[in-house]
Amino acid sequence: MSLHILINISSDTENLYGVRFFTSFCKSSDQCSVTLFHICRLDSRDSSASLMEIWKKPDASEEGMLAEGAQRALDRARRNLEDASVVIREMKTKTVQERYGKVRDILSEGSAGLYDAMILGRRATYALQWMFDRPGDEIPQALIQQTTFSCPLWICCDPEEGRKNVLLCVDGSASSMRAADHVGFIVSHTPHHSITVFHVSNSSKDNTSKIFNAATAILDSNNLERSRIHHKTAWGLSVSGAILSEENRGRYAAVAIGVAGEPGNGLLHSLSGKGETAAALINKISRAALWICP
């Protein structure tokens, strides 16, 4: 089964962080289908222009209307993907008029399109805050409340040279086990990456072995070799601090978390509580991508 990835493209042609991360992380995969997704913002000049500007001879892979700024960004994204070593089975471009706000529209498209992942650039941090009109530490609760949030969301920065592998953060919750399944499926298509299953213990009641066994069983179901699966435990009252320290120490390309932690305790409890862990990870991870799984 091939990967089907949605990459959000803004009109910013200089960065394209989502495209850069995708080509860096998936460089050895030959089973990828990519949809480049552009939303014409309601308050943008491109938005009003796009209502009147339709390509005279649209490519068969184009869907929707493109204004000049969007066309430049999408063209550059396509060139970057074509020049990369990723073998893309199918590439499609889709543009839509903003309806509910940028990120809500992306979540809706991700849910409707049955994608394996939705990729947003680093500026998505601010888009998330604008979307929910609330501070960063409340974003996870807002995501949980979104019924359209059914597809993993990758927030990407400019990838740092030499980084690889995935830090999979688990606490035994259903959400973190879904993150394990997502990571296992993605990494099964990218053989140059391995997975470190990471648990931060901050309670004597933690059953680390049980958590690791459950996550490993899910990874095994994705046909991953055991040599590519590692386990690591840290102790700390600051869960986000432990994750950030390990992310920097291991120079991982991505950090994966489940958005809803185990109630009462566990690695991601503060994700569904005060939101301190989520806020720290969204705001402070600057060299690795953050994969948020529903």
Q: What CATH number is associated with residue 241?
A: 3.40.50.620
Lowest-confidence pick of 47-51, 139-143, 149-153: 47-51
Shared domain for 115 and 50, answered yes or no, is yes
Q: How far apart are CA 116 and CA 109, in angstroms?
A: 12
Q: Which domain, by its residues, includes 239?
A: 166-293
More confident call, 87 vs 147: 87
Shared domain for 202 and 271, answered yes or no, is yes
Q: Total structural domains in the chain?
A: 2
Of 100, 128, 156, the position where a domain reaches its end is 156
- Rounded to two decimals, the pTM is 0.84
Phi, psi of 153, deg, nearest 5: -115, 125
What's the rounded mean pLDDT across residues 146-165?
85
Q: Is the pLDDT of residue 111 over 70?
A: yes
Shared domain for 197 and 240, answered yes or no, is yes
Q: Which residue has the tokens 């650039």?
A: 121
Q: From the CB of residue 119, how many other CB atoms can be counted at a distance below 10 Å? A: 27
Q: Is the pLDDT of residue 113 over 60?
A: yes
Q: Is the pLDDT of residue 231 over 60?
A: yes
Pseudo-torsion of CA 108, 113, 114, 119, nearest 10°? -70
Shared domain for 234 and 266, answered yes or no, is yes
Q: Is residue 79 part of a domain?
A: yes
Shared domain for 88 and 126, answered yes or no, is yes
**What is the identity of the amino acid at 15?**
N
Q: Is the pLDDT of residue 126 over 90?
A: no
Q: Is the pLDDT of residue 249 over 70?
A: yes
Helix residue spans in 4-60 (DSSP H): 17-25, 45-50
Q: How far apart are CA 245 and CA 200, in angstroms?
A: 11
Handedness of CA 179, 184, 189, 192 (dihedral sign): positive
Shared domain for 180 and 281, answered yes or no, is yes
Of 156, 189, 224, the position where a domain reaches its end is 156
Distance of CA 147 to CAs 107, 110, 134, 144, 271, Å?
9, 12, 18, 8, 18
Q: Which helix (H) or strand (E) holds 11?
A: none
Shared domain for 110 and 144, answered yes or no, is yes
For 57-78, the pLDDT digits (tens) are 344 444 455 566 678 888 889 9
Burial class, 57, CB count within 10 angstroms (exposed 0-12 / middle 13-18 / buried 19+): exposed
For 15-55, the pLDDT digits (tens) are 788 999 999 999 877 678 999 998 886 555 544 444 434 33
Q: Is the pLDDT of residue 264 over 70?
A: no
Of 156, 186, 214, the position where a domain reaches its end is 156
Shared domain for 182 and 124, answered yes or no, is no
Q: Is residue 151 part of a domain?
A: yes
Q: Is residue 161 part of a domain?
A: no
